[in-house]
Chain A
Amino acid sequence: MLDITCLGKTFEATAGAAHRALDGITLSVGQHEIVSLVGTSGSGKSTLLRIVSGLEAPSSGRVSLDGRAVEGPTPEVGMVFQEPRLMPWLSVRENVRLALLDLPKQEQEARIAEALDDVGLSRFAEAYPRQLSGGMAQRTAIARALVRRPSFLLLDEPFSALDSFTRQKLQQHLLALWERSRFTLVFVTHDVLEAVTLSDRILVMRGHPGRIHREIRVDLPRPRARTAPEVRALEEEIVAALDLT
């Protein structure tokens, strides 16, 4: 269970002018739920995710995971960034190992093998990042985030740099992993259709500072076809809520 109460974030700019990124965010995400944050750029979606991951400290309000306040990154929370962020000097195997360094060696090997198998990269364990395609690199990043078996997986526009075919494959893949592993999934996206096909709940964020403008529940059975009329209707509703004009 993720609880966010009255969260605010203000960045102190060097010139003295402070930039308010988030204001009055209150939000709960239940176990095994998939929640997406959709919003115009600058609405603070990524900042919100970074605060939940413990990479950024809030200026006001509080964030707790299963009742414990977030004070920094923890193994409970896996994070996938917009870019794969692999260490170019480490093989796929060693990149995934980074999340496991405090575990016994044998356990590390077993978990790496399992995680690479989950994302279909077993045959590329010894490959280096420069040899991977964009989709494979991002799957390595997902393996690195999941290998620790976190209860929460945060994804910051994880598929935005991929071509649409690879993106859809990875979305399905992620759903399959989620159905099996029971983690709570919170992700930021620009892709409204992606939000509708994956999420239980969509939070539309808007404005400077960013606030939650609308909350939309998606009660459609999975898998959801991208072309289904219900999906299209929701997509239009969200685009309207974003008020892109």
Chain B
Amino acid sequence: MAIEETERRVTLGWRETAAKAAVFSTLRLKGLLLPLGLLLAWEATSRLELIPAYLLPAPGEVFGELAALWRSGDLFDHILITGWRVALGFAVGAAAATVLGALTGSSRLLRELLDPTIQALKAVPSLAWVPLFILWFGIFETSKVLLIAVGVFFPIYLNLVTGILGTDRKLVEVAKVCGLSQLDLVRRVLVPATLPSYLTGLRAGLALGWMFVIAAELMGASEGLGFLMIDGQMTGRPAVIIGALILFALAGKLSDALIEAVSKRLLSWQDGYGETQETPNA
């Protein structure tokens, strides 16, 4: 047996991690090139007055508007409430999806009983729930959080069930031969095997959460980034609309990066193409 050969590969593996970290940081920087380029183009456009300022204000004006809002304390409140709605809706939707997905994924009976209904509900465009939720829960927080939760629910549920059902039968057989208890089977085989798919679901769910918070805030709110946009539209301040857009992009990217970082830690055992290619947004 070529033990030396494999030992070399193992140590190489550790060395690779250090190299990867370096590659990763330059890739991160590369990701900033495009936004910076766009910013420059935007600045140039307004300097040359190619587009009238009442449609596309200069970057300086947008950031000035944001700075003013920040100083007054309003902006912080808007960000906080929007973030809170997403967090709450995500928590509720993810919890429901995790429980239901685990149940229908692990029991054939429950799957046959519940899954068709859940799939049918998925076919309802999520925004179609808005009138009903407003009727049932009013226009305040509950209906907003629930709408976000509905949006978050489906990708997480679907990915979880797919992950559980896709668990390699051969590994489950090993667990049987080794005499694993039901709890150990879940802990040491099913959960890790399902994790990649589940984390993909969480990321997709979070992205939808940010999408639905806008819908929820557009349908009637007195605070939040979505309200800020409506307010900017009503009062004819495009700088505010664009500022809110930028903040949404930042918040979405930030929360996604958080899940991605957690995924990387949890899935370091994976031996996939992305591991060697180091795509920052795989």
Q: What A residues does B5 contact at CB under 8 A?
A: 133
Query: Which residue of chain B is the closest to A169 with respect to CB atoms?
Result: B1
In the bound complex, CA of A126 to CA of B266 (Å):
17
Contact string, A28-53, partner B, CB cutoff 8 A, digits 1/0?
00000000000000000000000001
Interface residues of B in 151-201 (CB under 8 A from A): 170-171, 173-181, 184, 188-189, 192-193, 195
| B173 lies within 8 A of A99 (CB) | no
A131-B13, A166-B1 are contacts. A81–B170 as well, Cβ < 8 Å?
yes
Q: What A residues does B6 contact at CB under 8 A?
A: 124, 131-133, 136
Interface residues of A in 151-172 (CB under 8 A from B): 166, 169
* Interface presence of B273 (CB below 8 A): no
* Interface presence of B112 (CB below 8 A): no
Report, as a range, how many residues of chain A touch the other chain: 35 or more
* Interface presence of B269 (CB below 8 A): yes
Contact string, B1-17, partner A, CB cutoff 8 A, digits 1/0?
11101110110010000
* Interface presence of A65 (CB below 8 A): no
* Interface presence of A209 (CB below 8 A): no
The secondary-structure label for the interface of chain B is helix
In the bound complex, CA of A8 to CA of B210 (Å):
59
Task: Give the size of the chain B interface in residues (CB under 8 angstroms).
Answer: 29
Query: Which residue of chain B is the closest to A88 with respect to CB atoms?
Result: B269
Q: What B residues does A98 contact at CB under 8 A?
A: 174-175, 178, 180, 188
In the bound complex, CA of A123 to CA of B193 (Å):
26
* Interchain nearest-CB distance for B89 vs A (Å): 31
| A85 lies within 8 A of B270 (CB) | no
A131-B13, A133-B2 are contacts. A89–B178 as well, Cβ < 8 Å?
no
| A73 lies within 8 A of B10 (CB) | no
Q: What B residues does A88 contact at CB under 8 A?
A: 269-271
* Interchain nearest-CB distance for A19 vs B (Å): 19
In the bound complex, CA of A55 to CA of B3 (Å):
34
In the bound complex, CA of A131 to CA of B268 (Å):
12
Q: What B residues does A75 contact at CB under 8 A?
A: 179
Can you list 10 contacts pairing A with B, beta carbon distance less than 8 Å? Answer: A75-B179, A79-B177, A87-B188, A98-B178, A101-B184, A124-B7, A127-B10, A132-B6, A133-B9, A144-B174
Given A55-B176, A88-B271, output 8 extra A-B contacts at Cβ < 8 Å: A55-B173, A85-B173, A87-B192, A90-B269, A98-B188, A101-B184, A102-B179, A148-B178
